[in-house]
Amino acid sequence: MKGSMTNVRHLVVLAVAVGTTSCMAGWRQRSSFSADAAVPDSFVVAFETSRGRFDVMARTQWSPAGVDRFYQLVNVHYYDDARFFRVVKDFVAQFGLPADPSRNKAWRIRRLADEPVRHGNLRGTLSYARGGPGTRTVQLFINLKDNARLDTTNTFGFPAFAEVVSGMSVVDSLYQGYGDSAPRAPAQSAQAPRAPLALRC
């Protein structure tokens, strides 16, 4: 069956850190792949965090452009050392700002074309954050509950492209003290709770 677990590509991406302490595992890749390779119909990415691990399955049929971008970003380790900077109880957990600001600068101008919502923003699904038509780039959010209103927000909605297939309890445990907005600039010290902290074993 196309896209079944037996045909799913398995990738592993470096931790997205949460909280303010603990070590992260290094980036590991279960199977080799090239940035020029065709994007699989579905593939699994494992996020190892300071709260534990959660696995995400991307599904091309839900959002071809979104999955293609996600595959590229994982391939170039874009989310290495990224942090959850916005966690809103019973709504979403958002991440996608890399520790190195220059990496974000290189990608933020590469906007994705809009796509229709083919799969709703159900609990555990991932979508790209955006501020209007044609503004999806790299920031992602995980729905912490069914958010049907995000399917039609501002008439264009937020197309889900992946879902958490294991470890949703880890996502639910994310620290909720980061507030409801993105940091305006990379933090320079560990005093700011939204700061990307250099946590390494």
**pLDDT surpassing 60 at residue 82:** yes
The pLDDT > 90 percentage for the chain reads 45
CA dist 192 and 188 (Å) reads 8
Task: Compute φ and ψ for 186, nearest 5 degrees.
Answer: -60, 130
| Residue 134 or 184, more confident | 134
Residue 91 lies in a domain: yes
Residue 34: pLDDT band with limits 50, 70, 90: low
Q: What is the CATH number of the domain that holds 56?
A: 2.40.100.10
Residue 153: pLDDT band with limits 50, 70, 90: confident
CA dist 64 → 38, 39, 42, 76 (Å): 12, 9, 10, 19
pLDDT at 103: 80
Residue 131 lies in a domain: yes
Least confident of 104-108, 118-122, 144-148: 104-108
Q: How many CA atoms lie within 13 A of 7 on its CB side?
A: 9
Positive or negative torsion for Cα 21, 14, 182, 144 = negative
Residue 197 lies in a domain: no
Residue 125 lies in a domain: yes
Residue 193 lies in a domain: no
How high is the mean pLDDT of the chain?
Answer: 75
pLDDT at 1: 40
**pTM: predicted TM-score of the whole model, two decimal places:** 0.76
Domain assignment of residue 59, given as a range: 5-172
What does the pLDDT average to over 60-66?
A: 97
Residue 159 lies in a domain: yes
CA dist 199 and 46 (Å) reads 18
Give the count of domains, the chain. Answer: 1
Which long-range contacts does 22-31 make (Cβ < 8 Å, 24+ apart)?
A: 22/50, 22/199, 23/50, 23/199, 23/200, 23/201, 24/48, 24/49, 24/50, 24/81, 24/199, 24/200, 24/201, 25/201, 26/201, 27/77, 27/80
Nearest CA among 69, 64, 50 for reference residue 173: 50
By the 8 A CB rule, do 112 and 68 touch?
no
**pLDDT surpassing 60 at residue 174:** yes
**pLDDT surpassing 80 at residue 116:** yes
pLDDT at 124: 98
Residue 190 lies in a domain: no
**pLDDT surpassing 50 at residue 112:** yes
DSSP calls for 66-129: HHHHHHHHHHTTTTTT-EEEEEETTTEEEEEE-SSHHHHHHHHT-PBPP----S---TTEEEE-
The pLDDT > 70 percentage for the chain reads 70
Residue 180 lies in a domain: no
| Residue 22 or 9, more confident | 9
pLDDT digit string, tens, across residues 132-151: 899 999 999 999 999 999 99
